[in-house]
Amino acid sequence: MTKGYGARLAEIISGGIMKIHEYQAKELFGKYNVPVPAGGVAFSPEEARTIADQLGAFPVVVKAQIHAGGRGKGGGVKLAHSLEEVGTIAGSILGMTLITHQTGPEGRLVQKVLVEQGLNIHKELYLSILPDRSTAKIVIMASEAGGMDIEEVAEKTPEKIIRVYIDPLTGIHPFHCREVAFRLNLPAAAMKVLTAMLNNLYRMLLETDASLVEINPLVLTAEETVIALDAKVNFDDNALFRHKQLLEYRDLDEEDPLEIEASKYNLNYINLDGNVGNMVNGAGLAMATMDIIKLAGAEPANFLDVGGGASAEMVENGFRIILSDKNVKGILINIFGGILRCDVLAQGVVEAAKKTNISVPVVVRMEGTNVEEGRRILAESGLQLITAVDLKDAAGKVAEIVKN
């Protein structure tokens, strides 16, 4: 499953995020008094019809709920003008494999739809609020060019994007809101609604440690108010310890089973197509190890960073996860001890070997803190391990193994 793992890698390197569905984001918006269209989530055509019936007016919109953008272009968002049509459309979207520019060619199975009241759209705007790493400020981005791929807008017409930076120490002020509202050319009534919305979204971002809040489109209705037609919210993985309630929003159907298993043990793991399993400490060294495996003519079966503070138990679980990938024909362990000491790593490998039947050759390359003790533990364990003198040697040996 090769996916575009570059994006996952980028997420891991930059700290990791938790994604949620649009309907969950809108539920959260509701809690913060951010206006959203009336609607509800449905898991079957019957449920979709019930929700549409309760809405009481047509058209209604049926929207596929997956953790990826570009759903409309992929055929996952449709308008219905009668209860029958709601049923038919929900029936066709539920169970479909939706392919968008963000899902990769394998697409995503749709298991739920959001059924929402249609709006009298006067104009589609864009609004987002997120931490900006380069300035260490919180940035509000807005544009009159809403409803489009915002990356494209930024590329072709950067002048159409309004950016307002907020110092996290002093927080959001009325002038920030005025700046956004006037430059969006909003009517007076809508400006008031937008100001409240910006304040509420800012509070939500802080209180949930969101790493992204994006509304595209934000709709200016014929009634001169603004409503969040779409909602995308990501959270900072590192802050989830103080937001236990957000964990309920996690949808395991959207994640790779082995990656879910790895996340239970705080391991950063990405499942890939190749046959060289590898376990490394540190994301940078892990990427460099994958690079050198490829240079040696083999393909990595995974990315696995056991992290700086890995315990013997984490190493053991990492081993088990690598081995549960049936494509793996050889394993390369590359550990440069720092926080993770080589003796701890060695104990983990020995424990894993005792509990799991290691059916493939394992090449070990170890350096750094307590390396002598680590080598002694491995040597005395009676395990059939292939030792490597350096990284190049290790990659060469494991590549040779999987070729045969």
317-356: which residues touch other proteins (CB under 8 A)?
335-339
Q: Which of 369, 373, 381, 387 binds other proteins (CB under 8 A)?
A: 369
Q: Which residues contact 329 (CB under 8 A, 6 or more apart)?
A: 275, 276, 360, 401, 402
Q: What share of the chain is helix, strand, coil (3-state, %, to 5)?
A: 40, 25, 35
Q: Which of 20, 28, 292, 345 binds other proteins (CB under 8 A)?
A: 292
214, 249, 269, 316: the active-site residue: 214
Q: Is residue 148 within the footprint of other proteins (CB under 8 A)?
A: no
CB of 167 to other proteins, least distance (A): 6
CB of 81 to other proteins, least distance (A): 29
Question: 75 is written with which tokens?
Answer: 């055929």
- CA atoms of 122 and 120, how far apart (whole Å): 6
Q: Which of 140, 142, 151 is nearest to 123 (CA)?
A: 142
Q: Which of 46, 53, 84, 167 binds other proteins (CB under 8 A)?
A: 167
**Binding-residue pattern over the window 68 to 107 for other proteins, x denoting contact by CB under 8 A:** -xx------------------------------xx-x---
Report the residue number, 122 or 137, with the smaller CB distance to other proteins.
Answer: 137
Site for other proteins in 237-256 (CB under 8 A): 238-239, 241-242
- CA atoms of 240 and 262, how far apart (whole Å): 17
Q: Which residues contact 148 (CB under 8 A, 6 or more apart)?
A: 126
126, 202, 249, 265: the active-site residue: 126
Report the residue number, 30 or 297, with the smaller CB distance to other proteins.
Answer: 297
Q: At what angle do helices 22-31 and 188-208 cross, to 10 degrees?
A: 100
Report the residue number, 40 or 337, with the smaller CB distance to other proteins.
Answer: 337
Report the residue number, 130 or 360, with the smaller CB distance to other proteins.
Answer: 130
25 touches 251 (CB < 8 A)? no
Report the residue number, 209 or 316, with the smaller CB distance to other proteins.
Answer: 209
Q: Is residue 128 within the footprint of other proteins (CB under 8 A)?
A: yes
CB of 359 to other proteins, least distance (A): 27
Q: Is residue 151 within the footprint of other proteins (CB under 8 A)?
A: yes
Site for other proteins in 261-290 (CB under 8 A): 280-285, 287-288, 290
Residues in binding contact with other proteins, number by CB under 8 A: 77
Antiparallel, parallel or unpaired: β 210-221 and 232-236: antiparallel
- SS3 assignment, position 376: helix
Q: Which of 157, 308, 354, 355 binds other proteins (CB under 8 A)?
A: 308
Q: Which residues contact 354 (CB under 8 A, 6 or more apart)?
A: none
Which uninterrupted H or E stretch holds 280?
strand 276-280
Question: Annotated catalytic, 11?
Answer: no
Q: Which of 85, 124, 209, 259 binds other proteins (CB under 8 A)?
A: 209
Report the residue number, 168 or 187, with the smaller CB distance to other proteins.
Answer: 168
Unique residue bearing structure tokens 């009517």: 187
Question: 40 is written with which tokens?
Answer: 């509800």
DSSP code per residue over 195-258: HHHHHHHHHHHHHHTEEEEEEEEEEEETTS-EEESS-EEEEEGGGGGG-GGGGGG--GGGS-HH
Question: Annotated catalytic, 214?
Answer: yes
Task: Using the rule CB under 8 A, give the single segment among 30-38, 44-52, 110-118, 146-154 that binds other proteins.
Answer: 146-154
Site for other proteins in 13-32 (CB under 8 A): 13-15
Report the residue number, 2 or 324, with the smaller CB distance to other proteins.
Answer: 2
Residues 292-316 as b or e (16 or more Cβ within 10 Å = b): bbeebebbbbbbbbbbeebbbebbb
- Enumerate the active-site residues: 126, 214
